[in-house]
Chain A
Amino acid sequence: MSLTTPDRFGARSASDVTVRLTSSKRDVKGRAVEWTLLSTLLISLLILVALIVNLIDRAWPILSGRLGDFLSSGIDASSAADAGVWQAIRGTLILSVIVAIVAFPLGIACAVYLEEYAGKSKVAGLIRINVRNLAGVPSIVYGILGLTIFVKFAGGLTGGRTVISGGLALSVLVLPVVIITASEALRAVPRSIREGALGVGATQWETVRSHVLPSAAPGILTGTVLALSRAAGEAAPILLVGAVTGLLRTGNQSLWTQITEGGFTSMPVAIFSYARQTGADFQAVTGAASLILLILVILINGLAIWLRNRFERSW
């Protein structure tokens, strides 16, 4: 094959074509963008790693010295040697259970209504927008709300400054997030599934129950369990509702009495209490408590992933 010299692309000979095709005249801008993006990712990861390393370093005296004792002692912000987290862990778990019982069914039901029944009316649109707005309301505001409604107004039912009030305040806090994630999961269910069910004569509820909800279940579960881990990490609202910060004596009350009448605390509140104290020993306590909260949240997220995978395989 002969080349007209130079050809349309400026090559003067066959060997010149070879050189042009193989020499690395790379996409410089593209490379730059790629490296920038990669470096931002690395920086984020580095910060996270630094945080964890720092926590472990700070918590080391506790982790190596009295971990078992630390895990089994109650909250005590007056003496670092006696300080522990077991009441806080228990409080956080009870709060999580209350959130799961209250916020999940309520939020999923709201989402089903908004997505499957409400249609495209203006009122429904307004509600959807405002659910999104509610998700952006600062958590301290939900604390005030919890204090006003669950502690003062409905104190007779909740027992006042109890873990029930705290759980309800956290439920209200994560409710918009649950509604939004469940709505998105429902919206992702293809229209064809609904049409298929309706096409063989299913009612709307039969369609939702037998096909739409099962198809959306993995997404709903992931979203709600992530909302749970957010609730587990919140300090502000339950501080306002009356979580105990300094020292919590529980005596010999039964678990039920403690839940319905007694004081409570939680992991973030315990961290807050310990962080306010001065001295290297309390720094170690704070670090250890933070690490345990981190592990707790990671466990909850792990549960979310496990549930999602399990449900995706189940049909």
Chain B
Amino acid sequence: MSVHDSSLTSTRQNGEVSMSSGPETEQVPVFRTSDLAVYYGEFRAVRDVNVDINGQEITAFIGPSGCGKSTVLRCFDRMNDLIVGARVEGKVEYHGIDLYDKDVDAVEVRRRVGMVFQKPNPFPKSIYDNLAFGPRLNGVKKKGELDDIVESSLKRAALWDEVKDRLKASAMGLSGGQQQRLCIARCIAVEPDVILMDEPCSALDPIATARIEDLMQEIKRDFTIIIVTHNMQQAARVSDRTAFFTTEVNPESDRRTGVLVEFDATEKIFSNPSDERTEAYVTGRFG
């Protein structure tokens, strides 16, 4: 997978980027952060994040509120750019390319790295137009081609059977769970490389949640998925690797900063974590 070219930047970095370059070099991760810290104005929201995100895996970010997991997630598609005063220090590399290099176009990044938000946010348009918006941006104009993309995306998001007879109806008329699957389908429609999910099930009931979790397992063959969740069982159920974040009180300013505590295989995090803070959190003795 990963059709990767140099269109992210105007200047090509080190000739080419490939998933399996030399015989002795290890596989380049999809994302690698080095000493990542994010500031909102003077406030340091999260610091010292070093993670490697592998392709075709589901990585979960867990931790208490305010630990910076969503903030880190939003660095991967440059969504933090939209927040006035947000500033990123350290490095976020996407297939080896520094995402915060001044030559990198955030719009191009977001075409490759899609996002599903906490609250389902379908556009107040028809189901069809929700799906077709992204492909149209990419220059798909022919109706037949768009129809195909809409159908296949809805099928992959397990929504086709429920909406195939009312594609022209407003997306706002769908239930919460259907809306969220629509948002996932909208994301899939532009064939991204990575899908970021920011607490995608927190507004949904358990049945809708289960459907989305099944869906994630289905699509992880094609996409790298990073999910932020408050729900530890969800992380344990769906993810391959889990990062646990927590907050630390900053001695100088008395404000809380998020830190990455541990990042490992999900099984290890939940059965035999190395850090006692992780153990306290996953066993429910957090405090």
Are A202 and B115 interface neighbours, CB within 8 A?
no
Stretch touching chain A among B46-54, B93-101, B105-113, B259-267: B105-113
Distance between Cα atoms of A119 and B114 in the complex (Å): 24
- B123 contacts partner chain A, Cβ-Cβ < 8 Å: yes
**B57-94 near A? 1/0 per residue, CB < 8 Å:** 00000000000000000000101001011000000000
Known: A193-B124, A315-B126, A315-B170. A199 touches B137 (CB 8 A): no
**A112-143 near B? 1/0 per residue, CB < 8 Å:** 00000001100000000000000000000000
Known: A210-B133, A315-B170. A201 touches B119 (CB 8 A): no
Are A201 and B138 interface neighbours, CB within 8 A?
yes
For A195, the chain B residues whose CB sits under 8 A away are: 79, 82, 115, 117, 121
The size bracket of the interface on B is 20 to 34
For B183, the chain A residues whose CB sits under 8 A away are: 196
Known: A315-B125, A315-B170. A200 touches B84 (CB 8 A): no
Distance between Cα atoms of A58 and B190 in the complex (Å): 68
For A13, the chain B residues whose CB sits under 8 A away are: none
- State the total of A-B contacts with C-beta under 8 angstroms: 68
For B187, the chain A residues whose CB sits under 8 A away are: 199-200
Chain A contributes a number of interface residues (CB within 8 A of B) equal to 21
For A211, the chain B residues whose CB sits under 8 A away are: 123
Residues from 62 to 115 in A contacting B, C-beta threshold 8 Å: none
**B170-209 near A? 1/0 per residue, CB < 8 Å:** 1000000000000100110110000000000000000000
Residues from 177 to 217 in A contacting B, C-beta threshold 8 Å: 190, 192-203, 206, 210-211, 214-215
16 sample A-B contacts, Cβ–Cβ < 8 Å, listed by A number: A119-B84, A190-B121, A192-B117, A193-B123, A195-B79, A195-B82, A198-B107, A199-B110, A200-B187, A200-B190, A201-B112, A201-B137, A201-B190, A202-B133, A210-B133, A215-B124
Residues on A lying within 8 angstroms of B by beta carbon are: 119-120, 190, 192-203, 206, 210-211, 214-215, 315
- Which 4 A/B pairs are nearest by Cβ-Cβ distance? A201-B111, A192-B121, A200-B134, A199-B115
Other than the known A195-B117, A201-B134, what 16 A-B pairs have Cβ atoms closer than 8 Å? A120-B84, A192-B119, A192-B121, A193-B123, A195-B79, A195-B82, A196-B121, A198-B79, A198-B82, A198-B110, A199-B110, A199-B115, A200-B114, A200-B189, A214-B124, A315-B126
